[in-house]
Amino acid sequence: MSRIRSLAFRGINVTPKTNWCFLEVSTEDGLTGLGECTLANNEPLLEAEATRLAANVAGEDARHRNRLARLIPHAQGGLVAATVVSAFEQALCDLAAQRVGQPLHLFLGGALRDPVRLYANINRGANPRSPEGFAAAARRAVEQGFGAVKLAPFDPMVWEDGFTETNRAAYAEGLARIAAVRAAVGPGIEVMVDAHWRFSPGGAAGLVRDVAEFRLFWLECPVAEANRAEIVRLRGMANDRGMRLAGAESLAGLAAYRPVIEAGCYDVLMPDAKHAGGIEEIRRIAALAQTAGVEIGPHNPTGPICHAHSVHLCAVIPNFVLLEVQFGETEAFFDMVEGESLRFAQGAAPLPQAPGLGIRLGPGPHAPWKRMDRPWLDPRLG
């Protein structure tokens, strides 16, 4: 009765800039487990990969998570395949916890903390994307009880475009946005900055020096992940100025994280339940990171299913520091699911107590996913 009856891909449009994608895995005994596989601008590939996975797992016993979640090795299908497998593993964990009548965090061995502390990613909630717009979004988050906020202030800068007037202006605007947020929230609120790999190693060194005055909690993803030696150097510079260095949000699997941990790249690793291999793989990554004194702050700026899984996961990780949540983008985050409330409580997430994940997708209607021909950070999109 625990055999897999169906695996369905659900792509849902929630804003003019955003689609969220989910997997629903149903078993013959009437249970349905949920996972999230959002990966912007890759919806057709995700759906094709989900169809391929569905054919492979039909009729399999859903209790065999360790084997089933590796039917499509991460290395063979890139980030799209890793994202679908990660969602599948999430759904299998949801099913397993439902089957024994326990909330997922208890099924994983019991919570170390309740509630789970969050930080507000204000990036998509900042409108306009001016210093004043970012400052207003940060104030809204603080008014709702968040003690930490994050912004990605440097669009449309791309270092490979060269030392252009556009890049110089974007850099200056980025610093102005950070300054405005720090001034808006005051000294008692943590501020993080996501650089989205927009810098060369030399440019990132200048960035570390320039943002030191804003007393950041962490600087995130300053350079491409392949530059491990330079990341180590930047970590030392950041630490000398009182801030952490964070990154590695799009890696898949323990093998990808091992050299990053062993090289000493980051103070905070950001594995994403949508990409890294799911719940159990992130627990393995976190355990290895713990031996090196590295904190875990999962990447989590998308939909409600990944968020719910991440809350359960963060409750059981010893070296957890903070969990990201998309703040102020759309009320669909709360309204499209049924079950226990995902509403934030003073900048934290109370642990669900219902069996499994604790939530399910509502009946809708849900708008089908839409093509996003331009990245949402394109300034022409507002």
The residue to which tokens 């949000």 are assigned: 249
* Residue 372: per-residue pLDDT: 85
Q: How far apart are CA 359 and CA 291, in angstroms?
A: 34
Q: Hey, what are 23's tokens?
A: 């997997």
Q: Hey, what are 115's tokens?
A: 């509630």
CA 322 to chain centre: 11
pLDDT in tens, 267-303: 999 999 999 999 999 999 999 999 999 999 999 999 9
The residue to which tokens 């912007």 are assigned: 40
* Residue 250: per-residue pLDDT: 94
Which of the pair, 104 or 162, is modelled with greater confidence?
104
Confidence of residue 1 (pLDDT cuts 50, 70, 90): confident
Across the chain, mean pLDDT equals: 95
* Residue 374: per-residue pLDDT: 66
Residue 263, classified by CB atoms within 10 Å of its CB into exposed (0-12), middle (13-18) or buried (19+), is middle
* Residue 70: per-residue pLDDT: 76
% of residues, the chain, pLDDT over 90: 93
Q: Hey, what are 330's tokens?
A: 């759309």
Overall average pLDDT of the 238-257 stretch: 96
* Residue 77: per-residue pLDDT: 74
Strands 116-121 and 190-194: unpaired
Taking a C-beta distance cutoff of 8 angstroms, is the pair 282, 313 a contact? yes
Strand 4-15's sheet: what is its strand order?
4-15, 18-27, 32-36
Which among 252, 294, 244, 292 has a CA at the least distance from the CA of 273? 252
pLDDT in tens, 37-90: 999 999 999 999 999 999 999 999 999 999 998 754 445 679 999 999 999 999
Tell me the sheet residues that pair with 220: 194, 246
Tell me the sheet residues that pair with 10: 22
- 296, containing H or E segment: strand 295-296
